[in-house]
């Protein structure tokens, strides 16, 4: 696939020059095991940054550091130019880092709008009465989801009846509405069928088109990353083995880096050896 041939919407405004997230030589040790060995990367507003790598590469560990679940063993994390010291996931959320996990943190038995506002419900009348402003919540949830593409008509629909793609869109719209400037999507397409995967990729492109939000897209799907990403970082066994913009990387580079940096010829030789019973 030719990367240049994929039309990508123009960014709103000039390309941002300052990263919203800067990861500087971050290390993470679990006992004697080093899961991250000095990882650096920059994430810019209005861009989709694909974080790629095989199982065990350290993607989830890095994401847990960015979202306040783990503290790094060494290295720095800067958010909008300032060093961040997240002590909890709440700190990260408050700093504008919104993470959409694979389980999406949705309750299938509740409605779309109740899920959208879960824990942050709007009320009407005196606060102590705690009367929910359902109309307002319905209106906002529906509008926010439609902005990024969910074809939804009933905000009182139970989440359990929604498609996988619509659920992703709900989780993403919710994170943005509550202030995410950086959106971390952990393998958002991996548990979905092909049609639903496309819906999620479209949602990513609509968020990107806003121009102000940075998206970190974790995937091990090379094709998905090529379809939507502006920038790529490849992790292997806790190290960055390659990075660059889509202009920097030719298709073959991406394929080679996806294979953990091994040359395709090396892989072919190994397969050949296996076929011969080695
Ligand atoms: N809490 C933990 N304790 C010990 N080892 C861990 C822990 N979390 C992850 N690891 C190890 O760190 C390495 C990277 O894991 P992970 O970040 O989950 O990789 P990825 O998400 O790229 O598959 C793996 O070898 C994994 O076993
Ligand atoms: Mg992982």
Domains parsed from the chain with CATH numbers: 3-7+19-107+167-275 (3.40.50.300)
* pLDDT number for residue 11: 43
What is the atom index within ligand 1 of the atom nearest the CA of 55?
Answer: 23
**Binding site membership of 65 for ligand 1 (Cβ less than 6 Å):** no
* pLDDT number for residue 9: 41
| Interhelix angle 134-147/164-177, nearest 10 degrees | 110
What is the atom index within ligand 1 of the atom nearest the CA of 238?
Answer: 14
* pLDDT number for residue 25: 98
In this structure, the dihedral spanned by the alpha carbons of residues 249, 253, 259 and 261, taken in order and rounded to 10 degrees, is: -100
**Binding site membership of 59 for ligand 1 (Cβ less than 6 Å):** yes
Residue 132 CA to its chain's centroid (Å): 31
272, exposed or middle or buried, with CB in 10 Å at 0-12, 13-18, 19+? Answer: exposed
What is the end-to-end Cα distance of the chain in Å, rounded?
34
Q: Which segments of the chain have a pLDDT < 50?
A: 1-14
For ligand 1, atom 25, which residue shows the shortest CA distance?
Answer: 56
* pLDDT number for residue 3: 42
* pLDDT number for residue 4: 42
**In this structure, which residues have their CB less than 5 angstroms from ion ligand 2?**
59-60
Residue with tokens 């919407």: 9
Question: Which ligand does the CA of 33 lie closest to?
Answer: 1
Distance from C-alpha of 248 to C-alpha of 78, rounded to nearest angstrom: 25
For ligand 1, atom 4, which residue shows the shortest CA distance?
Answer: 30
The H-or-E segment that residue 265 falls in is helix 264-275
What is the atom index within ligand 1 of the atom nearest the CA of 62?
Answer: 17
CA separation (Å) from 203 to 144, 167, 210, 251, 273? 12, 11, 11, 24, 43
**DSSP label of 2:** -
Mapped onto helix, strand or coil, the DSSP state of residue 52 is: strand
Around Cβ 239, how many Cβ atoms within 10 Å? 16
Question: Which ligand does the CA of 58 lie closest to?
Answer: 1
What is the atom index within ligand 1 of the atom nearest the CA of 64?
Answer: 17
- Of 261, 259, 187, the closest CA to residue 224 belongs to 187
Instruction: Enumerate residues 6+ apart whose C-beta is below 8 A from 221.
Output: 189, 190
pTM across the whole model: 0.85
From 51, 52, 56, 102, give the residue whose CB has the most ligand 1 atoms within 8 Å, as the site to mutate.
Answer: 56
Q: What is the pLDDT of residues 158-179, one digit of tens each?
A: 999 988 888 889 999 999 999 9
Q: What is the pLDDT of residues 63-121, one digit of tens each?
A: 999 999 999 999 999 999 999 999 999 999 999 999 988 777 889 999 999 999 988 88
From 59, 61, 221, 239, give the residue whose CB has the most ligand 1 atoms within 8 Å, as the site to mutate.
Answer: 61
Distance from C-alpha of 262 to C-alpha of 164, rounded to nearest angstrom: 34
Mapped onto helix, strand or coil, the DSSP state of residue 67 is: coil
For the record, the structure tokens of 65 come out as 């550091």
* pLDDT number for residue 54: 86
In this structure, the dihedral spanned by the alpha carbons of residues 71, 77, 83 and 86, taken in order and rounded to 10 degrees, is: -30
Number of residues written out for the chain: 278
């Amino acid at each position: 696939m030719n990367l240049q041939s994929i039309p990508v919407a123009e960014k709103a405004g000039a390309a941002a020059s300052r990263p919203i997230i800067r990861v500087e030589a971050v290390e993470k040790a679990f006992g004697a095991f080093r899961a991250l060995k000095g990882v650096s990367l920059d994430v810019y507003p209005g861009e989709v940054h694909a974080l790629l790598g095989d199982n065990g590469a350290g993607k989830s560990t890095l994401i847990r550091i960015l979202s306040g679940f783990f503290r790094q063993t060494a290295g720095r994390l800067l958010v909008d130019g300032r060093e961040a010291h997240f002590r909890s996931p709440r700190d990260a959320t408050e700093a504008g880092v919104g993470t959409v996990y694979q389980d999406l943190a949705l309750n299938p038995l509740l409605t779309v709008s109740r899920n959208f506002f879960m824990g942050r419900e709007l009320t009407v009348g005196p606060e102590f009465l705690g009367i929910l402003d359902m109309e307002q919540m319905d209106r906002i949830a529906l509008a926010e989801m439609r902005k990024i593409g969910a074809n939804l008509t009933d905000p009182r629909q139970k989440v359990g009846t929604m498609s996988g793609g619509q659920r992703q869109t709900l989780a993403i719209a919710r994170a943005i509405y509550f202030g995410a400037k950086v959106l971390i999507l952990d393998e958002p397409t991996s548990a979905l069928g092909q049609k639903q995967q496309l819906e999620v990729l479209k949602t990513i492109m609509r968020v990107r088109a806003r121009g102000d939000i940075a998206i970190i897209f974790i995937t091990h799907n090379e094709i998905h990353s090529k379809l939507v990403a502006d920038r790529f970082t490849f992790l292997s066994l806790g190290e960055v083995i390659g990075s660059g913009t889509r202009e920097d990387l030719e298709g073959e580079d991406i394929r080679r880096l996806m294979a953990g940096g091994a040359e395709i010829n090396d892989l072919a030789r190994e397969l050949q050896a296996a076929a011969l019973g080695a």
